[in-house]
Every structure is written in structure tokens, then in C-alpha cells.
Copies of this chain bind each other. A is one copy, B any other.
């Protein structure tokens, strides 16, 4: 029940620090008989990998994941699956100069105060590097959901700074390093990133995650609603400061007559709810949106204090994304996949075959 586990039936427990020896996780509850290889995981890991393009951190981790247990001859056996990836491109020295400084916007301060000790190398456990294992575990959930239920989980960049990207088709999303569906915005985004790098600054972003073909009935009222668990999973991603389901905050100025999704014999006439009614999936697309804050590790001088409370200026060296949102899509997809997988198993437990 400690903080490093998510899910109740499809349960993922992770470990590892940014500049430690390895990152790993244990996945418990995977149904037996599923074909799963390291390639299935690698495909997803490569989508989030740093150094993927000149627009993200140049840290070049190969992130080779190894399946240590839980499969026999490439088939899941129903026992716990151990995954590991070794940190190869460690540069702890980048951080020695700030070991006793609290980087503004980072968890340095809260980890130090909570635990009385912290791994200062790249933020240790609080680094976004921790998300590698979320993506590896998510890949297993994604594959299972797709193969057995045709559930398709995809995400894209809807906004970065004040640039809005419209989704016409999914074709472009995987063709550019921004997961941007809107080709007409690519040059704008590239220009923005270049400018930010020059300024040594960063920017926020908004990501949309959509799950299609989710069966009706997933979600357990009153507390473990599907939307509540999605909010938990998505808000647990570094830098996320807001979560919306369906129309999200735009419902504030909507009327009931306009917001409620009416039904005809052909199904729902609209999807303001984002595919969830009373905490249970209704068969429509599940739509979740998240806001990611701008990277706090920037080269602009900032004011902070050290462990003794002494004031000090700080410039964050190391290799960082000007927009963490740009790599958040595979991570957010994974959290949605893990959550839906968990609720699918929970449905089967109480309500039988799906």
C-alpha cells in the first residue's frame, strides 16, 4: 500500500533513481497465455526516449528493457513479471555543484524535508526518468487490451504555450517529435522550442489521451470510479497540474440541457461526458486531458536556498527538455492503459466474463 504501487488487480510497482544502477518494476496480475516480448516494450519505450530528437534532452539512454520473469518461451505464465533497464548514460557530476541547493520547482526541498535525506543526482527518484517503467508496464496493458478487446489508446499534443493543435487525423501524430496532429503548426512549435533553448527557458503543454472501444461497465462506484482512477494515474505523472474528463472545465458555463448526452436508438448523440457516466464507462470514447507545467530545470538564474537556509542563485545544468509535455504522450497513454486494464480485471471479478 506504499506509494510505489499503482493498480489493484493489474498492479505495477516500480523502483529506481535517475542516476542509480537500474530502474525496474514488477507487474502482478497479468493474465496468463499472452505473447509478450521485449520488442513489444521497446517499441513504446522508444517513443518516450530522451535524445529522440533535437527538441528533447540530449541525454541518450538506450533504455533497453529486459524481461526477467513471468514468461516462459515468450508467453505470460500468470506469475509476477520483473522488468529492468540499466542506466548507461549517467552523469552524476552534472549535479555535484547543486547537491545542497534546492532547485526551484523541483522536489529537492520536499524530499529533503520529508525523508531527511535525498539522492541529489538528477533528482533521484523524483526525476521524470522514473516514468520509463510506467511506459514498459503500460506497453503490456496496451497490448493485452488491444489484442483481446480491440481497445486503442492514443494521445496527442493539443497545446504548447499559446499554440493550439487541432486533431483532424491521427496520421501525423507519430511522424513528428511533438506528437502534434497538426502539420500546419510544426514550424511554429520548432521555432518556439528554439527560442526557449536560446533563452534557457521552458513552456507548458496540454495533452489529450483517448481510449476507443472500451467496453461498457468499467469503473467501480463510488470511490474507484474510472474517472477518479484515471485522475489519480494521470496526476501522478511528473509536472501534471490538471486533469479533465470529457468537457472538463468548460462545463462550468454549460447548461444541463446542453451538457447531458441524450440518447437515441443509435446510441449517444454527443460525448460531453468523455465516455464516463457515474464513474462507469458508457461505450463512448474515453477522453482525458492533462496540463503539464513548464520544465523547472532551466538555465535562467533563479533564487533559492541551500540546506542551511542560506540564499543562493541557481542555474540548472544537466540535460533537460524545454517542454516536458513533448514526451508525456506515451507516459499518459500508459497510465490510461494501466487504469483501464485494472478496471477490466475488476469487472471480470465481480460481473463475470467480458
Contact = CB atoms under 8 A, between A and B. Distances in A.
Nearest to A232: B232
Interface string A123-161: 011100010000000000000000000000000000111
Given A222-B125, A262-B302, A291-B248, A114 B347 contact: yes
A95 interface: no
A300 B262 CA distance: 12
Nearest to A343: B3
Given A256-B296, A262-B304, A114 B84 contact: no
A31 B104 contact: no
A235 B241 contact: no
12 contacts: A1-B1, A5-B28, A13-B80, A23-B69, A104-B260, A109-B282, A114-B217, A130-B222, A242-B248, A255-B294, A256-B294, A263-B304
A110 B226 CA distance: 12
Contact of A255 (B28, B203, B255): B203
A65 interface: no
Contact of A241 (B17, B234, B244): B244
Contact of A69 (B21, B75, B274): B21
Interface stretch (A44-52, A55-63, A173-181, A305-313): A305-313
Output the residue of A110, A255, A283 with the most chain B CB within 10 A.
A110
A26 B9 contact: no
A269 B104 CA distance: 10
A320 to B, nearest CB: 9
B124 A77 contact: yes
A52 to B, nearest CB: 21
B72 A305 contact: no
Interface string A221-251: 1111101111111111010011111111111
B4 A251 contact: no
Given A77-B124, A107-B221, A260-B296, 14 more contacts: A14-B80, A72-B118, A80-B125, A110-B217, A111-B278, A126-B278, A203-B253, A203-B255, A205-B252, A223-B233, A224-B236, A229-B232, A256-B293, A256-B298
A2 B80 contact: yes
B302 A260 contact: yes
Contact of A256 (B203, B251, B291): B203
